[in-house]
Structure formats: C-alpha cells, structure tokens
Structure 1
Amino acid sequence: MAESQRRWRAACPNCGAPVEFASAASASAVCSFCRSTLLRDGETLSRIGQSAEIFDDYSPLQLGATGRWAGAGFAVVGRVQRGSELGNWNEWHLLFEAGEQQRVGWLSEDNGQFVLSLEAPLAELPPPEPQVGLPLTLAGQRWQVAAVVEAAVRAAEGELPRAPQDGRVVELRNERDEVGSLEYRQDQSAVWSVGRRVQLADLALQGLRTTAEGESVAEAKFKGRSIACPSCGAPLEPKLTESRSMACAQCQAVVELPEGDAKALGFTRQPTGAPPLIPLGRTGTLALAGEKPQGWTVVGYQERCDLPEDGDDEQSFWREYLLYNRLAGFAFLVDTREGWSLVRTLTGAPALSRGGASWQSRAYDERWTYQAKTTHVLGEFYWPVKLDDRVRVTDYASKDGQYLLSREQQGREVTWSAGQTLDAATVQKAFGLSAPAAQFTRDASAFKNSGGTLLRNIVIGLFLLVLLFALLRACSSDDCQRYKDSFGEFSNEYRQCRATARSGGGSYIGNSGGSYGGYSSGGGGHK
C-alpha cells in the first residue's frame, strides 16, 4: 500500500488486483479486473457488490482523458451508466486539479449532448415529491421541474465519489440556462449539482478514444455495425452513434436500436408513406438565431398531427425534419401551414407568466395548447421514437412572430425548444430543392400576434375561405385541389380533405395549431 497527498492504492479484497484512488475524497471504486464494487473507509477497502460490464455506447470519452474548464484542469476518473424508462445515459466523474477545496464534477452525456456540473452543498431539505412541470425554489433560485425518473445503475467503472445506487433523479432547469440535478439516495440523503451545456470542442480534451489515424474508435467500430431489421431482415445502417431508433428503409418498420452488438427485437410496422419534400441525407446551410450559418444534414423525418378535443374542431398536420451537425448537434426544421421554422431544444427553461413566457430578455405570448401525436417516421432518431407517441404541447410566439417557443410534456418529462421562422425561399435554396414552389410557400404571417388585427384577419380569412369554397364547388369537381397543389397528392392535408368531402362535410379547413418544433426526446431525463 502506498499513499501520497492525493493518490492511494490498495489491493482488491476480492481478487487482489491493485485499485488506485487519485483523490483522497473518493469513497468508492470498481475493480477493473473482477468488477467488484468497493467502498473505502480510511485505509480499508471492502466489497459491497458486483458491477455489470460496461456496455459499449460509442462514447468518445474514456477513463484517463483530460481537459480544461473555467480555467481549471480535470481528469476523467470514473463513469456511471444509468437508465430509466426514458433511456440510458453516461455520467463521467471528473477530478479537478487540487485547489482550496476539492470539487466533485460530472460530465453527463445523453443524446449527443453534454452537461458539465459541479456538486454543491444543499442547506435546506429537498422537496419530498417534486411535480413535473411545476416551479420550485431550491438553493436560492427559481427552477422548473423538467423530469422525475427512477434511475437504475446499469454499470460503473473507475473511481467515484460514493458508491453508485439506484434512486430517484429530479432534473431542474431555469431561465439562466442552467441544469440542476437532485439525486435521492437510498440512505435518505440527496446529492445536489448545478451545471450548463458544454461542447466537447471547448473542453480542450486529450486522450479520447481514437485510432492511429485520429478517427474516433467509437465511430470506427460503429461503421462496421450490422443490424438486421426484426421485421423483414433487411440490414439497418444507422449513420449516427447517437441514434436510438430508426425506420427500416426496406419495409419502413420503426425499430428500436439495441445497445452495442445486440440484436434488434422490438419494432412497429407502419404503412409506406409519401417521400418528404427534403430527402433524407440532403445537406443544407442554415443559421440559427445569433449563430453563424452551418451545414445541417437531414437524418430523420416525422409527420405529426394534433388531437382535437372537440369533435367539431378540424385537425392540423405538420412535418419535422431532424437535422444534424457534427459540432452543433441536432436541430429541427418544421413545416406547418403557418410557415417554416428552425428550432433547437433548450438546456434551461423560460420563465412563465400569465398568458406568456420570457426567454433571454424576449417576451412571448401563449398561442395554443393541444395534444399531439406522431403518425409516420423515416430515417433515424436519437430518442426511441414511437408511432402514436402523444404529448401535451403549448406554443408561444414573440409579438412580431419571428421567434418561437414550444413546451412539450410527456409523462414525467418536460422539454422546451426555441427557434425562429424561415422564408420558404430560404429553405428551398438551402437544400437545393426543385419541387413546385407552392409546396414550400406557407403563410408565415400567421405566427404574428397583433391583437384585434389578428382577430379581424381571422374573420376576414374565414369569410374568404367560405366564398372560395362556394366557388370551388361551382366550378371544380375536386374541392381539394389547392391542398393537392400545396402539399402533394399523398399528404395528410389532401387525404383529410378528400375524406371530408366524401362524407358530405365539405372542404377541409384546418385550424392554426401545430407544434413549432418541440419534440418528445424520450431519452435520459437526467441532466
């Protein structure tokens, strides 16, 4: 046994292999030889359990990697793999350079996003039963409860500040773009940490999993991954290591992708649909608000609709393209009857007020609240997408209609997204599309909120639609031609119009609902 100011080494009580602690503050470790979970008490190591093998999730991180954050260096010394009904995720234990006080840090990895957080003391008792979607004051700050999950420890490795345990994890977010995490442990204690989203490129990381040619080991292995579709047997070829589900290109069955090299088992059949306006794999250059233009590749596509609560209400359909950029992560390009918009999910949560919300010093008015579901998907997704997934959506827009917010709640998770409207010509040019202009043109002015002017426009618009309907009935055998011209022969809008006409209900005129691009991530509501 050898001990220095920070490092301490002892033999594993189960197999005798050396177990080293880089910090005197660390109280637990997992033996790299026999996978025993060990607890340190002074100079004594005791075995308290057995950890499962780490499953290969294609992470670029590994033990021993180093980096810098906020002027301080750190080393990656441990990892806990957790999971819940929302998915699986990694929590990497960071050991920072010794200072006046040793800080316990975590780099949480989920859905291709990373949050770096530091543990902090919690002066007050945590709330016993936090409720998803409700406000909460904790550690002197106002938060919103974004998720409450029962998190299980799947596996662990390396050096940890305490023995990993199953337990409830509560995720909090605030308008300062911070993420708070409360871990309720079995011994009735609670671990509190606060962090922010980070980009790996900003952490000056060294020692990542790479090949001799500099390629990520995870990506190199991923390229050789072979998965058979459990529905038709055709090979599934996901392009992204973050993908958790995809639609088979042969039979369009929706398949939940397995971890590592396991076989895919679960799938849902869906009928073949019309191709999207923007083909999968197409790359276009677009700029998010306040950011430089970047290349975005279409990796997934889903069709969604609202669920009218009143039988007399019309149904609205829209489309969401999942975009990917290697450095920036994921974004959504949304196509509704009101127009196109480009949005991304938020780490924080806007501040709510009566009839509105505020985010980054901008005020938004609440527009619609409705139930929505997914009806058709293509491509791949970083969450376990499911047909008929149902969420509660609330949409907001700035007074000029240019900026958008969307809040989605599904079960015990709330997700916020924000973005801005785009001209149809911008979308068409960005992706080099040659489809008829009518299929891209939408009335983006519908996003604007102008009080009495909006109401007057709605009344006038309804009158004109009724007049147009009468004219169409008089001079055309196809009352739904304008939907066919605008959205295509196989669109939900055109099909719904034809079905309504056949039943004697007249032409289909949808309402102005439709998500601005919020989504149900379904994965890892933890950081």
Structure 2
Amino acid sequence: MQIVSCPSCGAEVKFRSAASVMAVCEYCNTRVLKEADAVRDLGKISSVLEDYSPIQIGTSGVLGGRPFNVVGRIQLRYDAGMWNEWYLMFDDATTGWLGDASGQYMITTLRQPESALPAFESLRAGQQYKINNEHYTAADVRTADCIGGQGELPFKAGDGWQARVADFRRGSSFVTLDYSDEGPPALYTGVPVTLESMQCQLLRDDEQIKQSAGRYRGKLDKLDCPSCGSPIQYLPGMTANLVCHACHTQIDASSPKVEVLAAGESVERQRFTLDLGASGKLGNQEFTVIGAMRRADDEGTQWTEYLLYGPRAGFTWLVETDEGWSRANVLDVWPTWDGGSTATLDKAEFEKLYTYGSVVTYAAGAFNWRVKAGDRTRVAEFKRQQVSLAAELTDEELTWSRSTPLAFDQLKAWFGTSVHGSAPVSGPKLAEQAGRYKRSAKNFIIVMLVLNAIPLLASMDNGGFGAQFAYSMLGALAIYLPAIFLDSIDKQ
C-alpha cells in the first residue's frame, strides 16, 4: 500500500493496488493522479448519486478460492438507466471488476485476446461474434457517461468521461469488451455471481444505507408525481425509472432531486387484473407488484406484464394473456441458439414457435429500466412441454427469459382480493368461441340467399333483378356488420 497526501486538501489518499493510477480523495473528491515520483491534482469528480448499494469501499469476498477487496468504484449512466462498476484487488495482486445493476452482479477479470477483436461500430445486439476462438452473442452495446467515482481506479476518469462497452454471452460465460481508451479494446471474461456465493463481508446494512441515501434500499416508498401529485410506489435504489399511473409522466428518481423526463398527458385510468402495490407470498417469498405494462404484437393482440419485487428474491414477472397466466424470470445463464429452429438450455432442446414484433402501449409504476409507450422489441419464442423461452431484442440489448404456466386459482391464493375478474377462457374453448358471431352470420346469410334464389330468378323476367339483388345485399350487410362488431367486443 502507498499513502500520499491529497494535493488539494492534504488528507491521506491510499493506493492499495500497484495497478491503480488514480484515486479519489474521500474528503474533497479531488482526483489524485499517481506518477513516478509525485502526485498530481486532476480536478474534482462528482460524488456518486444516492448510494443504495450494499457494497462499499472495503467490502471483501472470495471468488474461486481467491480473496478480494473492493478498492474503488465508478458510477455510469446510459439512456435507460445506471449501474456501478466496483474495482477489485485480489490477494494475489491481480485486479477485476464487479458489475452492480439492479441487484444483479457480474465479476470480470482482464484477459489477453488471442485474436483480433471486432470494431465497436460493427457490433449489433443479438449478433454472434468469435472471441478467443469461441462464438458469443452480443447481449448489449452501450455508450455510458461517468457520473461519479470513489476510491482508486486503474485509469483516469472524471466528469465527461465516457465508457464504450459491449457485453457478450455464451451459456454461463460472460465477456466484456471495453473500447473506452484509444487502441485495441480491453477483454474481460467473467461469470454471474451473488453476494452470498462470494461470501461478502463488510456490506452495508439497511440503517447505513438509509443514513447515506435517506431511504431504505429495496423497501417500498412513495413519491409524489412532480406533474400531478399522484403518489407512486417505488423501490429506492432498485427502480429509479417511474411512470405515473395518473398522468403518464416519466420520472427519474435516481438523483437527489427528482427529474421529470417527459411531461405526460392525462390518460384514462387503465384497469388491471392485478393491482399495483398488491402483496402476496409466492412460495416462501414475499413479493409486491411494483409495475405494470401492456404490450401488443404485430397483429394487435395485447397482453399485460406485471413486475414484482421480493426483498430476498429480487425481480420476477407475471404475464397475463387471453390464454391464461405465466410466471417469468430473466435468465443469467443463456440458452445456446444459432438462429435456427431450436435453442438448448440445460441440455434440453426447445422448439421455436414464432417471431414477432412487440410495442409497449401503456406503462405505469416503477421499473428497473426506463420504459415508455412506443418502446419496440423483436421477440422469438421457444417451447418444450410446459416451459417457454423468449429472446427479446432491441437495438442495444438482447435478453432471455424462461416462463412456466400459472393457474388462476394459484394467483388468487397468492394475492387474494387484489385479483379482479375471473379465469380467462383458454385452449379449445377459446378457439371455438373466436369469431362465433361472424360464423353464425355467414350461415344465416347463406340460408337467406338460398331462400331468395327463386324470387331472384323470377325477377329477371320482369326486370326487377337489380333492385331485388340490392335488397338482398343490404340485408346481408345488416347481418354481417353487427357480427364483426360483436366479435371484436368478444375478443376484448
């Protein structure tokens, strides 16, 4: 460890890692550059925003039998959210990074590339690339702004510094290419982790987090909409992107001063089967409904997705369609899929059903990414017996989720009176009822035309065929058009 004096305030600044070139003074936020025989003042860096992460400088853990300590952090923001990157120093003097986003964690360490790496401008989410002689799928491609820093870092960073990064997946393997500096990108490889699996020590508890951030992390709180004053329930430190259910205003609650992102227009209150704020016990875990959004496919078919959060279990989804309910979770370990008709997960093959476009038509509540009406994704769905997989692709990101059917009676048992309506008609019965009014109308029109055939033929002799035919067509339309309307009501 090397201890120097801050050039700005004179306080002690510690460099624990020989690889660190910059440290942030914890007293005055000055960026201190370590040079060969001196230190230099690089100016101030912004403090991190409301700090809800349980991790802090000094947190320790073990990865694969290798102890590590957290020695630094940068905070990054992109157009749909923000995340932390914690700088780690292992006991063997090597270093790594711990990504921290919405309660999900990923550890990566620097590796030497074995071949040329693709250019940042050529990368597209969802495409496959060969990295170190293995094929990986691009999970997301982003440019993010540094908005704060702490501790020591292996490079010079500050306000205005941008990170250009791309993440890749192959099963449980994870690769990050960092294009932030000039020259070839840096290659990092890693795996998804949990704080429990790393046996983390010196984590901040709820009271410490509340003292620094003003609220408890991950516990429901209320925020008044800056536009209309309606209360919005959200999870501090977990769901900073809010959509007011009353006026549709988008709100960023990640900064100390709530920021209105888009002045919402007054909208008719949507009716949901499951109330926002409803709490239930799924298995042995408590969950609360914190967000809801409606989506539609290319043909206009709509469904509703509810975002749930549990203090110990994290995020999960409930999906409501015309055919019933299902429960879905985002996958940390990805299926293997080459774009063909099957995807493989846990040595099981899933058959591809269809691909379609989807658009968000309505959103309300709290989310762990920025969502708004009009957001579009491309979806590919796969199925094996009762289990379904879905790959959802945007211009910047690809995600995979797995879902299983959920009985309506089970939903009622979990949430009780917060569930409205009855079980949806599904399966053969739904198929049988679809278009029933039009079918009845067609049959009636055929019978009517058969009965009118003789009068129509007779009218040809006296010159009244045109008028008689027109009356028949008007009668058919008078029967068929209401049937179309009734079928549309039936579908809704």
What TM-score, normalized to structure 2?
Answer: 0.81
Return the match for 2:201 from 202, 206, 227: 206
Q: Trace 1:327-346 onto structure 2 (pairs within 5 A).
A: 327-346=312-331
> Hey, what's the Cα distance between the residues in 2 that align with 1:302 and 1:294?
23
Q: 1:144 to 1:104 in 2, by over 3 A?
A: same
Cα distance in 2, alignment partners of residues 240 and 226 from structure 1: 9
**CA deviation after TM superposition for structure 1 residue 343, in Å:** 0.9
Q: Does 1:508 align with 2:491?
A: no
What is the aligned partner in structure 2 of residue 296 from structure 1? 287
What amino acid is aligned across from residue 252 of structure 2 in structure 1? Answer: L
Which residue number in structure 2 is paired with residue 323 of structure 1?
308
1:427 corresponds to 2:411: yes
8 A contact 2:435–2:487 mirrored in 1 = no
5 Å matches for 1:47-58? Answer: 47-58=41-52
- The Cα RMSD (Å) is 3.2
Residue 383 (structure 1) aligns with: 369
Question: Are 1:169 and 1:183, in contact at CA under 8 Å, matched by a contact in 2?
Answer: yes
Cα distance between partner residues in 2 of 1:427 and 1:218: 38
Q: Distance in 1 between matches of 2:294 and 2:153?
A: 43
Residue matched to 1:159: 152
Q: Deviations over 1:385-413 (max 9, x none)?
A: 21121211221111x2x111111122221
**Which has the larger displacement, 162-171 or 127-136?**
162-171
Separation (CA, whole Å) in 2 of partners of 1:510 and 1:329: 37
Note closer, same or farther for the CA distance 1:217–1:34 as it changes in structure 2 (3 Å cut).
Answer: closer
Residue 165 of structure 2: aligned partner: 169
Deviation at 1:259, TM superposition (A): 2.3
Mapped partners of 1:119, 1:510: distance in 2: 58
Does residue 142 (structure 1) correspond to residue 127 (structure 2)? The answer is no
Residue in structure 2 matching 1:111, options 94, 102, 110: 102
**Separation in 2 of the partners of 1:216 and 1:22?**
28
Aligned-partner SS, 2:268 = coil
Partner of 1:186: 181
Question: SS of the counterpart of 2:410?
Answer: helix
CA distance in 1, matches of 2:254, 2:86: 19
CA distance in 2, matches of 1:504, 1:57: 56
Separation in 2 of the partners of 1:294 and 1:248? 27
Letter in 1 for 2:274: I
Match of 1:367 in 2: 353
Is the Cα contact below 8 Å between 2:81 and 2:241 reproduced in 1? Answer: no
**Change in 2 beyond 3 A, CA 1:225/1:282:** closer
**Closer, same or farther in 2 for the Cα pair 1:217/1:195, shift >3 Å?**
farther
1:347 maps to a residue whose letter is D
Cα pair distance change 1:331/1:276, threshold 3 Å:
same
* CA distance, structure 2, for counterparts of residue 179 and residue 301 of structure 1: 30
Partner of 1:485: none
Task: Say which of 12, 32, 37 aligns to 2:31.
Answer: 37
User: 2:56 corresponds to which letter in structure 1?
Assistant: Q
The answer to whether the aligner puts 1:26 opposite 2:20 as a matched pair is yes
Deviations, residues 268-320 of structure 1 (Å, cap 9, x unaligned): 23523343222223233436xxxxx5333212111111133xxxxxx211111
Letter in 1 for 2:280: G
Report the alpha carbon displacement of residue 145 of structure 1 after superposing the two structures with TM.
Answer: 0.5
The within-5 A match list for 1:435-454 is: 439-443=422-426
User: In 2, are the aligned partners of 1:30 and 1:158 still within 8 Å (CA)?
Assistant: yes
Dislocated runs of 4+, deviation >4 Å: 213-220, 222-227, 433-437, 464-469, 471-475, 500-506
Matched, 1:72 2:55: no
Contact 1:118 1:194 in 2 (8 A): yes
Does the Cα contact within 8 Å between 2:294 and 2:305 map onto a contact in 1?
yes
CA distance in 2, matches of 1:155, 1:434: 41
Does the 8 Å CA contact 2:23/2:33 hold for their aligned counterparts?
yes
State the structure with bigger RCO (CA 8 A, min sep 6), 1 or 2.
Answer: 1
Residue number in structure 2 paired with 1:417 = 401
CA distance in structure 2 between the partners assigned to 1:342 and 1:125 by the alignment? 42
C-alpha change, 1:345 and 1:413, in structure 2 (3 Å) is same
Alignment of 1:261-272 (within 5 A): 261-267=256-262, 268-272=264-268
- Sequence identity of aligned pairs in percent? 28
**Aligned ranges for residues 438-517 of structure 1 at < 5 Å?**
439-443=422-426, 461=431, 465-466=434-435, 469-471=438-440, 507-508=487-488
What stretches of structure 1 of length at least 5 have no aligned partner?
1-6, 288-292, 309-314, 447-457, 476-499, 512-527
Q: How many residues align?
A: 447
Q: 1:137, CA displacement in angstroms?
A: 1.4
Q: CA deviation at 1:248?
A: 3.1
- Alpha-carbon contact 1:356-1:396 (below 8 Å) kept: yes
Distance 1:502 1:159, change over 3 A: farther
Is 2:244 the counterpart of 1:259? no
Partner Cα separation in structure 2 for residue 380 and residue 501 of structure 1: 42
SS at match of 2:166: strand
Q: Normalising by structure 1, report the TM-score.
A: 0.76
Give the 3-state SS of the residue equivalent to 1:431 in structure 2: helix
CA contact (8 A) 1:210 1:217 kept: no
CA distance in 2, matches of 1:324, 1:470: 45
Code of the aligned partner of 2:149: A
CA–CA distance in structure 2, aligned partners of residues 365 and 382 of structure 1: 30
